[in-house]
Amino acid sequence: MAIPSRKKEEAITTAVGTAQYPWVNIPSTKFVPEGEYSCGIILTKQEGESIFKKVEAILENKQKEQAEESGKDLKDVKTYQLPIQLEGDTYVLKSKLKPVNGKSKDGSEYTRSLGLFDSKGNPWDREVIIRGGSKVRLNIRPKAWFSPSLGAGVSLELLAVQVIELADGALSSQAAEAFGFTEVEGGYVNGGETLDQALDAEEEDVIKADF
């Protein structure tokens, strides 16, 4: 069982990035019966670097704390991979809010809600699905923990999401970016068209074929 840190870290608001695998309209119960919200975000190297350094410092402090408590050398306290990693030229940050529903120590039930807002800070209509590729900002809180099997680690608790630009359900360049695909110079281009243009042309052909 992971033991969370007693210290409460300050929340962090990210820069605007691309949402990756967002599950924020309703909590998912696929892997966590009590429900959990989750959202990744793709940030530029510069924007992600500052968050990475903050989270890395929290991990190092937790590692030192555990070494002191256990009487071990610092190098003997293993660490778990951080939930923000540099992938190519961008940082990918992963955050979760779980469990959403549960019971407190006194037996009382609780429900944790996720804040959803539009670009002006108004509450989000939860009927409008937030898809991968949307431009968003996340408000997250780092939480240090220790597990005998995994070592010292830091998770990023998802507190709120602000939608700046909503992606639609169709495949687009934004959707491609959400999967980590970016433009590669000199690579194959489908008919000399952009991804959006190619998809539009394909849709036109389908319409003509149907009628």
Residue 154 to residue 84: CA distance in whole angstroms: 10
Tokens (6 digits) for 143: 């939480």
Distance (Å, whole) CA 20 – CA 184: 20
So where are the chain's domains? 3-210
Tokens 């937030």 belong to residue:
130
pTM of the complete model beyond 0.85: no
- Give 208 or 32, the one with higher predicted confidence: 32
pLDDT at 6: 59
**Residue 192 pLDDT more than 60?**
no
Q: Is 195 exposed, middle or buried (0-12, 13-18, 19+ CB in 10 A)?
A: middle
Q: Which of 40-44, 84-88, 100-104, 199-203 is predicted with the least confidence, judged by mean pLDDT?
A: 199-203
Pick the CATH number of 3-210 from 3.40.920.10, 2.40.50.140, 3.30.1360.170, 3.50.50.60: 2.40.50.140
Residue percentage of the chain with pLDDT more than 90: 68
- Specify the residue for token string 């691309």: 18
CA count, 13 A, side-chain hemisphere, 10: 5
Which of 121, 152, 157 is closest to 12 using CA atoms? 157
Instruction: Pull the structure tokens for residue 113.
Output: 């809600």
Dump pLDDT digits (tens) for 28-58.
Answer: 999 999 999 999 999 999 999 999 999 999 9
Residue 131: what residue type? R
| Cα gap 150→22, rounded to integer Å | 26
In this predicted structure, which of 35-44, 60-69, 96-105 has the lowest mean pLDDT? 96-105
Amino acid at 125: D
Report d(CA 146, CA 70) in Å as an integer: 12
Span between the terminal Cα atoms of the chain, in Å? 60
Short-list 48, 49, 78, CA closest to 153: 78
Give dist(CA 84, CA 203) in Å, integer: 37
DSSP strands (E only) in the chain = 3-4, 12-13, 17-28, 36-44, 84-87, 90-97, 101-103, 109-111, 115-117, 135-147, 151-165
133-186 pLDDT, tens per residue?
999 999 999 999 999 999 999 999 999 999 999 998 654 454 555 555 555 555
